[in-house]
Chains A and B, each alone.
Chain A
């Protein structure tokens, strides 16, 4: 064990600091002493002993989540460790992968990544590290159901920890579509010819194929009749006014009355309904769930990153960021006390098992992505 004394000591110190047992000055001094002692003893393999890490880079989608995280987790991490967190944003995870591939190891340290298919992709591209969960005591609170898909991909050790989860479902305008109709038709709304030119959908091959598989009565994680899926996508396309590419765009299309029904991310649906109660949300006939995770990439100072993850997985930070982004946190609600606001999210699962939801099978989808993504791109353009 190389790192646990520092980590646990720091954790303990931080708790006392938060509880007001010690003032900031002595807190920081103690933190400094901890670092110093490790340095003097020179524990073998300790990165703090060998090289001082001044900063780590954290990249995310930005926005209100990032602000909330900066206020809470990042600020206390910087105070406790003296390591500066350089924040960056990206619009597409593909952009990060492209730059990481073209760049050098260590260009990126921790990114807010979009769930297990992306996890598989990063691991396949050789960007994985092995996190030592003993150094991340707060990882104990994370729902096992969210961790399992990551263990399936890298059984020898995780490179990421789940951060929050969300669903993709359907938002509809109650002025034109009744609640009963929505509950009955669900994804069928997106191929209802009565709604021609009043439909939108996410411009994403996996979402479109998932929906089309459900529409053609198939298991989305094991599609047997691929032609039927393409046919349903074409059917949907002929009725669509505009496919959306960002959460903001989906809200804009619905709120402005351009469309009456569309795929939507549950967090966006919450914000839309808060704004205008004329809108409703239903899950697909099989609830489509995904998670976002904090991914540590190869070439990073792993132990400092573990420390960072531990600070972010702190309950207060999880609650603050979840309330900002309107997606439930990855922590188990049976182990950790969450707020009423979080408990009211439409896809919040109080059992912590997520059993009523379906996750995409990363092995299945990444295996076929190479062929399906370009094929979908053509169909989406009417070709």
Chain B
């Protein structure tokens, strides 16, 4: 009897240790965010320490700065479209490669993750040369599909890992019970892969939103994304408005993630409950 509490204690300490370590990782991940948020309230002309006084002037300037607002809207719409298209395309590929016996499956898998391996600088220049030889202009569509290409490997890897981890037991069970393919997909496959789909959407959006190199080359004239705008501004000086923009975006994200978190955990609990019932 005397052994059990000790074990429990040990286990508890183990949990504390793990939670404590996780907390430290979060602190590390958040350090730059905290810096950016602090600096966005700094009244100083320069985007750096020390904090000379608190002020909301950079938020006012941000709201008045059409260029950054426009860049933000471009990046946001580009990110959302990239995430939707990229996840859909990746899901289709993963389904084809995991659930069917396709000849050359390995080749196609490798091809799908190949955009990861090619330095973006080279990919970017290569695509421009291709456009020139075809006499095509740079358009928003080109930038969008380019972003889909860049995010495809990430979305594909996440979804594929989930799909292959699942096995097909549940799907086979459902179809042997007479469900048609669409029903199986909607009732079984989709809920079970939901966590990976959410992860893929998020991944694709953030990667697109944060992409610099490829956007620099592929954007049509007159279009700026947030990263390209910042890159151009760096030449001059880091305007504190950028810090204010960061703060606004983090606030939006926290709001959105509370929402998405609620939806996500509901989806996950449905998914967990689904096959058992």
Contact = CB atoms under 8 A, between A and B. Distances in A.
Taking the complex as a whole, does A directly touch B, i.e. does some CB pair lie under 8 Å apart?
A: yes
A247 B232 CA distance: 11
Contact of B232 (A61, A107, A325): A61
A63 B217 contact: no
Contacts of A95: 216-217
A104 interface: yes
| Residue with the greatest number of chain A CB neighbours at <10 A, chosen from B137, B217, B234, B236 | B236
Most chain A beta-carbon neighbours within 10 Å: one of B49, B232, B233, B239:
B232
Contacts of B141: none
A310 B132 CA distance: 33
A275 interface: yes
B224 A88 contact: yes
Interface in B17-45: 45
Nearest to A267: B236
B48 A275 contact: no
B259 to A, nearest CB: 34
Contacts of A79: none
Contacts of B223: 88
Given A255-B46, A255-B48, A61 B236 contact: yes
Interface in A319-355: 325
Interface in A62-117: 62-65, 86-91, 95, 98-99, 102-104, 107-108
A251 B236 contact: no
Interface in B111-138: 125, 128-129, 131-132, 135, 137-138
A134 interface: no
Contacts of A248: 234-238
A308 to B, nearest CB: 15
Given A104-B135, A251-B46, A63 B221 contact: no
Given A86-B222, A104-B137, A98 B125 contact: yes
Nearest to A252: B48
A104 B232 CA distance: 23
B222 A91 contact: no
A256 interface: yes
Interface string A246-275: 111101100110000000000000010001
A174 interface: no
Nearest to B135: A104
A57 interface: yes
Contacts, number: 85
A247 B238 CA distance: 10
Contacts of A65: 236
Interface string B189-231: 0000000000000000000000000001100011110001101
Interface string A40-62: 00000000000000000101011
A249 B234 CA distance: 8
Contacts of A325: 236
B247 to A, nearest CB: 20
Given A103-B138, A275-B45, A89 B125 contact: no
A103 B132 contact: yes
Contacts of B221: 57, 59, 86, 88, 107-108
Contacts of B234: 91, 246, 248-249
A226 B214 CA distance: 38
A247 B128 contact: no
A143 B51 CA distance: 43
A63 B132 contact: no
A64 B240 CA distance: 13
B222 A62 contact: no
B168 to A, nearest CB: 46
A98 B121 CA distance: 11
A63 B233 contact: yes
A248 B242 CA distance: 14
A89 B219 CA distance: 11
B11 to A, nearest CB: 47
A91 B137 contact: no
A109 to B, nearest CB: 9
21 contacts: A61-B232, A61-B235, A61-B236, A62-B232, A63-B239, A86-B222, A88-B221, A88-B222, A89-B224, A89-B232, A90-B232, A95-B217, A98-B125, A99-B128, A104-B137, A108-B221, A248-B237, A251-B237, A252-B48, A252-B238, A271-B237
Given A62-B229, A104-B132, 11 more contacts: A61-B235, A63-B236, A86-B222, A87-B222, A88-B223, A89-B233, A99-B128, A102-B132, A103-B132, A248-B237, A325-B236
